[in-house]
A and B are shown apart, each in its own frame.
Chain A
Amino acid sequence: MYIRAEYEKREQLKYISHLELMNTFRKTFRRAEIPVRYSQGYNPHIIFSMSQPLPVGVIGFHEYFDLELKVKKSLGLIKDQINKSLPSGLKIIDGVFIDKKEKSLQAVVNTAIYSYEMSFSSEAVEQETILNDFLNEKKIEITRFRRNKENRMIDLATMIYNGRVLKDNIWEFTISTGSSGNVRPQEVIRALKLKTKGLIQEIPLVNIKRLGMFVRKDGRLYKPTNKEVLKKEVNKS
């Protein structure tokens, strides 16, 4: 029996790493006495996996994890138990039971929406125009910096699906994430900086928020808990 949970990671907790977050959840499950299942072998660990990591410094509003349970319990009860045992800044919002044959989160989640608190080198900027020009580009090439590997050129054009100006200085981009094409959130800003010849400036990661993670299917976005995404119907009680 698996549960797919939707949670948020906010406030100071934006500074904890993906690994630290995983360990925090593991300890929380034990504090909450959730009937988790352990792996076999010399170093047993809770069977538990998460969607694509958030960069350190970035808040996330709709993040996901899958957790295997030994016995079925009511979703509401599990959610309450976990929430009571989480540190402030982490909260379970929703959850569904899923079949164990479902694809993993890392395999299905392929899209993320980020918001950006923008920074411009001059005050009078036509934000809408700049954005539309950028989205209409056929090629958006930037250098990807890779740890312990050589840098390489990548084209973001096909991996940026959408963008809009939410309000003054706050922009939003829908971009590809995961194994079939991954855009790092800061790369969008670097590309904008290049295209606008420095009118748009780089911003620190704390100016970026991940608004949600999605499964993009036939041009539409679904939450990974949506029954359109899940192969098998499982009752929600």
Chain B
Amino acid sequence: MKVRDKIYNKLINVSKPERYIGNEYNIIKKNWQKDSIKVLTAFPDVYEIGMSHLGLKIIYHLLNKEDNIICERVFSPWPDLEKLLRKEGLPIFSLETNRSVDEFDILAFTLQYEMSYTNILTILNLAGLNFYSSQRKEDDPLIIAGGSIVSNIEPVSLFFDFVFIGEVEDCLIDIINRYNSLKNKGLKKKDILKKMSKIPGIYVPSLYDIDYNNQGVIKNIEPVDNSIKDSIKRQVVSDLDQAFYPEKFLVPYMDIVHDRAVVEISRGCTKGCRFCLAGMTYRPTRERKKKTLLKLIENILKNTGYDEVSLTSLSTVDHTQIKELIKDLTAKYEDKKISVSLSSLRLDNFSVQLAKEVQKVRKTGLTFAPEAGTDRLRNVINKGVSEEDLYKAVEAAFKEGWSTIKLYFMIGLPTENRDDLIGIVNMVQTVLKRGKEIKKKANKSMKPIRINVGISTFIPKAATPFQWEAMIDKDKLKEKIYFLRSKLNRKGINFSWNDEDLSRLESIFSRGDRKLTDVIVSAWEKGARFDGWGDFFDYSIWLDAFADNDLDPNFYLRERNMNEILPWNHIDMGLDPEFLKKEYDKALKSKLTPDCRFNRCKGCNICFNLDIDLDVVGNDYNVYKS
């Protein structure tokens, strides 16, 4: 009997049972043939988060288009279902055919957030699998991972048989077939992994020995023998325009986080914000052509019935054909009541005019991210926008009738001082004031002006120019949040911020090493689940877990010496280490580095190291270039 037949009627006792029923429109349920390769994709968070993740959708449809591969899905069970499964003695099951993990050949995790690490363990445990790759049995499924946080995967590396570094759509099918043929030859898992480690982008953590000095700092990272590569190079899709993109998206019943058609118009961003992990690790910029995008959008809308399409990218309005694309989309879809949304806006009038164009059908809020409170600090992080840019952009927005504006800032940035915080307060108050003035003058009635201020804590990330920087102290952080709250506590301003302890834990993992693996296991055993969800996060569990393993959280939060061997030293994201150092140095001098799309090369060396070119499609760009 299938797992869900046993649990089916009991789902009435858990919250949101529709998370576990599958059966979405466009679901792919294949015949379970003996010689098919069975892959279970896992996302260590709940359904509505996982189903909003583009990478997972690409993999699901990419694999299922192959006749010899079956790909199904599993998400983290909410604690109430976990409890129910344990009570009934049942394993976790796939959404498509309700099979348990041991019926699959490969369990593939998509990782995009450090705070979901304990959820990996829940899935492994409910599948009856040992956490550590080294302790799993020969006939257990192969357990692999990939995702946006692989620039430092060390804290969870020992759970996986291998990790893929970079963009996988060009080589995933070959990798799966290669694994299958090695397995069919009857090779032992250990030997298979050794052979697989030769494939570019594949990182087999067990094949690297790590030595520490008596302070716990890494002395050496070395492959176990000289047939293993020294470092693992990030893989990139060279022709995004022609790369696989799904058109028959699953249509969830639940109101998921991004419940709309999504098209990735470009990948990579070269603006060079120094805090930004994605900006550094998805380089270079590659765009899809307008023609390709229009066709994709048409098919996706037809296949899903969505009434909204989101143009997604790290920097949507920087696409070199964005204006023409939006013009064509609104002309084509306005009558059908299909609206277009932009995933990110720049701080300029051009962005506001685009937003105005796309929001003819439905008007939602506008979001801008000045990130810091003074021009000086924005230069430190290479944001490169001025206070005046913000005021011009919001004034344009208010004049176009928007009444709610969301502003994002970061605190705890390198070199930040009191003036920078006062700068945030001034900017928010000025935006509110200008909004009110425009409302007063407006002919037609306008809703009351609302400014939503989101403050996030800066976390130094691996493979960014700030990877050596210390994480801000908890007390200082609290003080800063208190200061901003007290100054911004007034009518028309809504203020939100991150939990201080949660930011610290995220920071620990962002630059952590392999020793943290045991800490994660201890915390899970003590009950840590869904740490990214405020209602579950309990920092005291984590402090206990650190103590149990004789590790000090502060060791991971400290400033790093430039000469130190960092835990992710063997993972080559393609960035020249000298570039990162130079950028850090320029940051401290608050010097800007312009976007290399419109200037000469700035020496990050990605294009050379990964043998790839910037690929932009618009004519304007070529004018720049010549």
Contacts and interface: CB of A to CB of B under 8 A. Distances in A.
Q: Judge: A and B partners, yes or no.
A: yes
Interface of A: 11-13, 15-17, 19-21, 23-24, 26-31, 38, 42-44, 56-57, 85-89, 204-206
The secondary structure that dominates the A interface is helix
B126 interface: no
Given A15-B11, A44-B361, A206-B9, 4 more contacts: A30-B307, A31-B302, A31-B305, A56-B12
B21 A15 contact: yes
Given A20-B255, A38-B337, A204 B21 contact: no
Contacts of A42: 362-363
Interface stretch (B22-30, B115-123, B153-161, B371-379): B22-30
B17 A56 contact: yes
Listed from nearest, the 5 A-B pairs whose CB atoms lie closest are: A27-B305, A31-B305, A30-B305, A12-B21, A15-B17
Nearest to A25: B305
B32 interface: no
B3 to A, nearest CB: 14
Interface in B17-50: 17-18, 21-25, 27
Given A15-B17, A27-B305, A30-B305, A87 B24 contact: yes
B437 to A, nearest CB: 24
Contacts of B302: 31
A21 B254 CA distance: 9
B251 interface: yes
Nearest to B24: A87
B13 A204 contact: yes
Most buried by A among B9, B303, B305: B305
B305 A57 contact: no
A12 B22 contact: yes
Interface of B: 8-9, 11-13, 17-18, 21-25, 27, 251, 253-255, 301-307, 337, 361-363
Nearest to B19: A15
A85 B253 contact: no
Contacts, number: 75
A20 B254 contact: yes
Contacts of B337: 38, 44
Contacts of B22: 12
Contacts of B24: 87
Nearest to A39: B337
A87 B23 contact: yes
A31 B18 contact: no
Given A20-B255, A206-B9, A88 B23 contact: yes
Contacts of A23: 253, 255
A224 B597 CA distance: 64
B305 A29 contact: yes
Nearest to B359: A42
Contacts of B363: 42
B303 A31 contact: yes
A204 B305 contact: no
A89 B23 contact: yes
B23 A11 contact: yes
Given A16-B18, A20-B254, A27-B306, A205 B12 contact: yes
B287 to A, nearest CB: 29
A206 B25 contact: no
A42 B402 CA distance: 12
Contact of A31 (B27, B253, B304): B304
Contacts of B27: 87
Contact of A57 (B12, B251, B301): B12
Nearest to A41: B362
